[in-house]
Amino acid sequence: MEKITNTNVLESWAAQHAEVEIWLGKLQRKAANAFDLYRFCLWCGKTPSELLSLKDNPASKEAERLLDVFVNSKLPLKDTVKFRMTVTVKSFFKHSYRHLEPAAGVMQLDKVKPTNKPSKENLRKLWNYALNPRDKSLLTFVCSTAIAKETVSSLQWQHLEENWENVELPCVNVPSKLLKGHGIRKYAGVQQITFLTPEAKRDLKNYREWVEQKMGRKMTAEDNVFRNLCAPFTPIKYYNLGGVIWGLTREAGVKFSWHDARRYVNTALEEIGISENWARKIRGRKVRGEEAPYSQPAVEQLRAKFREAVPLLEFTSETPTISRELEDRVKALESFKADLTPEQLEKAKRAGLLMRKAKNVSAPNDGEKCEDGEHCGEDDFKQIGEAELLQYLKDGWKIAYKLTDGQVIVRRE
């Protein structure tokens, strides 16, 4: 008899039981849940239908006692695995309309390790150890969008903003059915509105070109974004993603999980002072006390605020990534510098030091003059990050000087 594993459980076991098939149809993580239920049935020596029959009489507490015995049994399982299996069994009963008492199989898990907060240095090391464009793109994608592992495995190209390749910070609009709760009951209407940083967009474009060459065809809007690397290049599964990051962290010697990416993004959002409701939109969680939050104006407001977080999110190099839309303008930097006299260039550099908002230092009093006896021209020159550059160029500013720390000095025309 074929051994049942989490990779074949759907075909070799779940497909043989109608009750399980119906239950899995309501879930997103099908293989993982099916395998947990299979192992519980194996432990108690019952089929799924026999398990449900324990609640044929609603007054019976046999099913609840069975869960209590399982929780207190000495088994070669980690407490976290045992806890997950009890949740799975309760889900199976719940979606089969067999009520279990809430106290059945209750477990208390002690937190045994601190929450991991990934640093840019560790993320950069993971990215450098990634051996193919897909894995590099996966890492920058989740550390930009905060999209959960379950959703990543189901995401399609149609969920990216139209013409996203030519948008500075492309929007990713994830529908309810791909998120926690699948849009049912209290999760109705939930969407995830998030964005790609320039480096995440760069890696995604590189990955798509690379995988299309391997597949021998162009991707369609209905194609899943992330795929397995060998023919027939099927969509990557939830459990495959776990294997990808496990192998990568082992090789790089860096601790990281896909959920750490969500924590990384949320920390950056907190640092820029984003409102909790806006942060919940970006993370794909239900927004409290707000209706219709997904209109186009709201998306543009989110994009503008997200732009502030880009320098905190990007990690693949020491300096921020310049989006392709800015490359041609930045290449013209030398000609702009040539237009300035040495005195103007020195003045521009000094003006950059007066950026109170960026550097959090006090500016000279109005009317205070620089060493050359002239006003420093704070209104005519600004020092900004490259993530802000496109908006300033659209407003008529010109690049005056590029500093070595990823900052740019612009001048008003």
The pLDDT, as a whole number, for residue 174 is 85
The pLDDT, as a whole number, for residue 40 is 95
pLDDT, mean of each 10-residue run, the chain (413 residues): 85 94 88 93 94 93 94 88 93 92 83 70 93 94 90 92 91 82 64 90 95 93 92 88 89 90 90 83 67 61 89 82 52 55 60 38 38 44 71 74 66 71
Q: Do the Cβ atoms of 284 and 261 come closer than 8 Å? A: no
From residue 58, how far is each of 19, 63, 95, 129 by CA, in Å? 18, 10, 15, 55
The pLDDT, as a whole number, for residue 362 is 35
Bridge pairing between strands 407-412 and 381-385: antiparallel
Residue with tokens 């605020």: 305
The pairs formed by 335-341 with CB atoms below 8 angstroms and a separation of 24 or more are 336/398, 336/399, 336/400, 336/401, 337/400, 337/401, 340/400, 340/401
Superfamily (CATH) of domain 120-313: Intergrase catalytic core (1.10.443.10)
The pLDDT, as a whole number, for residue 365 is 38
For residue 79, the surrounding DSSP H or E stretch is helix 79-95
How far the first Cα of the chain sits from its last, in Å, is 77
The pLDDT, as a whole number, for residue 361 is 33
pTM: 0.59
The pLDDT, as a whole number, for residue 127 is 94
**Domain coordinates in residue numbering, the chain:** 9-95, 120-313, 324-412
